[in-house]
């Protein structure tokens, strides 16, 4: 049997952190060849040239796809998608993988899926079936589902949603949230070690804040101003900011964060990329995680920490009882943070159950990619469940 080539595409610090253990599983399997394509934010100095982290972790990057324009306008993002599609067409022709493995819902992953679909390369998609009504990721995610041939989802609800989109149930697998593998496998830093590592002495209360642009709205700048105003009401708290992704209007939010940190340098720090160990250690040592990142719904509850989830970016996703929703309103954000810090709510966190499984998804996905029969897999028939239930 020929050795099967699995090509993994990564475009951001976030998806790389989630794909890390799957990549390690593929790399360690003698019957598989791992191919890695780095693109998007990984190749941008502005976002930390994080492709270097991939190499430092012992991986070989087979190809790089330059695609980010120095613009975060809708026109710039659309042109970046076009450049990425051209780049991936060439890269996939050179690598000729047996399977393309992609995660999530970002525009660079959308471009990779388009190129692979046209090239008749089977696509394995992780993270389908979810819903994020406030961002273009919603439409991108479901579009990638329709281009893909194997689906690895994080919850049975999401599995049913992928089937609802017309995908064959025999190719949709609920192996749990791959993000939880890092929590299961990494030894996280305690408070003192984290302070030493990031060179930042914490005050008694610690906030971890990540706020991304809400790409289907035009009020991200106003919403960030509201959030920063709310944080001012907690002068006793240290604040760790992780910067937003390269999405529409992301740069204006980065500028606002940098200016805030510059004027609150005694209690605030910002990071372009922390890496999984430092980021998860920050969650472990934070009193509350604030913002609109999907991490607040997946990793944070698994570490028994409260999340203040702001606005509509994550609307539609499954949420644990540790997640406190609020509008992009200063009074509501303040009230939500106060609730998260209250003794009663903190006490309730011991009973939190994650809706996303218990980890070890990476090994199960790798084994499936290794053994699945690829004969005729790219010939898809719409699965119409009408009348089948």
pLDDT 10s digits, 143-175: 999 999 999 999 999 999 999 999 999 999 999
Query: Residue 246: what pLDDT?
Result: 65
Angle of helix 275-285 relative to helix 295-302, nearest 10 degrees, comes to 70
What distance in Å separates the CA atoms of residue 197 and residue 200, rounded to the nearest whole number? 8
Q: All domains of the chain, ordered by start, with CATH?
A: 4-178+359-371 (3.40.50.2000), 189-351 (3.40.50.2000)
pTM for the predicted model, two decimal places: 0.84
Q: What is the DSSP letter of 287?
A: S
Q: Residue 218's pLDDT is what?
A: 62
The answer to whether 238 and 203 are in contact (CB under 8 A) is yes
Burial 5-44 (b: 16+ CB within 10 A, else e): bbbbbbbbbbbbbbbbbbbbbbbebeebbbbbbbbbbbbb
Scanning the structure block, which residue is given the tokens 């004027």?
Answer: 263
Helix %, strand %, coil % of the chain (to 5): 45, 15, 40
* DSSP E strands, 52-149: 63-65, 99-103, 123-126
Rounded Cα distance, 212 and 220, in Å: 8
Residue-level pLDDT at 94: 98
pLDDT tens figures, 326-359: 999 999 999 999 999 999 999 999 888 888 887 7
* 153 vs 159: CA distance, rounded Å: 6
- CA gap 123, 309 in Å, rounded: 32
Categorise residue 365: left if φ over 0, alpha if ψ from -120 to 50, beta otherwise.
Answer: alpha
Reading the block at residue 225, the tokens are 């101003």
What is the chain's mean pLDDT, rounded?
93
Residue 290, H or E segment? strand 288-291
Q: How far is it, in rounded angstroms, from Cα 153 to Cα 125?
A: 8
Let me know: does 287 contact 208? Beta carbons within 8 Å.
no
Q: Which two tokens stand for residue 365?
A: 């996905």
User: CA–CA separation, 238 vs 31, rounded Å?
Assistant: 48
Which tokens in the block code for residue 151? 């689906």
Confirm if 39 and 10 have CB atoms less than 8 A apart.
yes
- Compute how many other C-beta atoms are within 10 angstroms of the C-beta atom of residue 120: 9
Band of residue 70 on the pLDDT scale cut at 50, 70, 90: confident
| Separation between Cα atoms, residue 74 and residue 215, nearest integer Å | 9
The whole-number pLDDT of residue 48 equals: 84
Amino acid 191: pLDDT = 97
Q: Is the pLDDT of residue 217 over 70?
A: no
Looking at residue 310, what DSSP letter applies? E
Q: What is the pLDDT of residues 220-252, one digit of tens each?
A: 789 999 999 999 999 999 999 998 876 667 788
- Tens digit of each residue's pLDDT (9 = 90 or more) over 100-145: 999 989 999 999 999 999 999 999 999 999 988 767 888 999 999 9
Confidence of residue 261 (pLDDT cuts 50, 70, 90): very high
SS3 237: strand
With bands split at pLDDT 50, 70 and 90, how would you rate the model's confidence at 275? confident
Per-residue pLDDT band for 387 (boundaries 50, 70, 90) equals low
Name the residue among 277, 274, 287, 210 with its Cα closest to residue 247: 210
Confidence of residue 388 (pLDDT cuts 50, 70, 90): low
pLDDT at 111: 97
Question: For residue 289, which of 212, 207, 195 has the smallest C-alpha distance?
Answer: 207
């Amino acid at each position: 049997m020929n050795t099967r080539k699995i090509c993994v595409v990564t475009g951001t610090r976030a998806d790389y952190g989630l794909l890390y253990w799957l990549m390690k599983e593929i790399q360690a399997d003698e019957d598989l060849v791992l191919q890695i394509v780095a693109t998007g934010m990984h190749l941008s100095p502005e976002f930390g040239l994080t492709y270097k982290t991939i190499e430092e972790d012992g991986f070989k990057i087979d190809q790089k796809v330059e695609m980010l324009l120095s613009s975060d306008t809708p026109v710039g993002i659309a042109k970046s998608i076009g450049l990425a599609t051209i780049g991936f067409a060439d890269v996939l022709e050179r690598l000729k993988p047996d399977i393309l493995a992609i995660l999530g819902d970002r525009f660079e992953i959308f471009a990779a899926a388009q190129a692979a679909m046209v090239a008749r390369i089977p696509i394995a998609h992780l993270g389908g079936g979810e819903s994020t009504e406030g961002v273009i990721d919603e439409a991108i995610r479901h579009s990638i589902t329709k281009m893909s041939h194997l689906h690895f989802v994080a919850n049975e609800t999401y599995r049913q949603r992928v089937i609802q989109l017309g995908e064959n149930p025999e190719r949709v697998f609920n192996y749990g949230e791959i993000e939880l593998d890092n929590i299961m496998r990494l030894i996280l830093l305690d408070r003192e070690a984290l302070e030493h590592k990031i060179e930042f002495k914490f005050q008694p209360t610690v906030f971890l804040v990540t706020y991304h642009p809400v790409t289907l709205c035009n009020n991200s700048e106003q919403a960030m101003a509201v959030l920063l105003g709310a944080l001012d009401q907690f002068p006793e708290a240290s604040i760790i900011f992780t910067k937003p992704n390269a999405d529409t209007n992301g740069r204006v939010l980065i500028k606002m964060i940098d200016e805030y940190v510059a004027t609150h340098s005694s209690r605030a720090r910002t990071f372009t990329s922390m890496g999984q160990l430092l980021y998860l250690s920050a969650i472990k040592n934070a009193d509350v995680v604030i913002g609109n990142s999907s991490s607040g719904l997946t990793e944070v509850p698994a570490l028994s920490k409260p999340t203040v989830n702001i606005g509509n970016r994550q609307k539609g996703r499954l949420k644990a009882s540790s997640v406190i929703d609020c509008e992009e309103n200063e009074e509501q954000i303040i009230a939500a943070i106060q609730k998260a810090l209250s003794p009663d709510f903190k006490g309730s966190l011991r009973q939190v159950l994650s809706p996303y499984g218990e980890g070890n998804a990476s090994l199960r996905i790798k084994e499936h990619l290794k053994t699945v029969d690829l004969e005729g897999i790219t010939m898809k028939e719409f699965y119409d469940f009408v009348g089948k239930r």
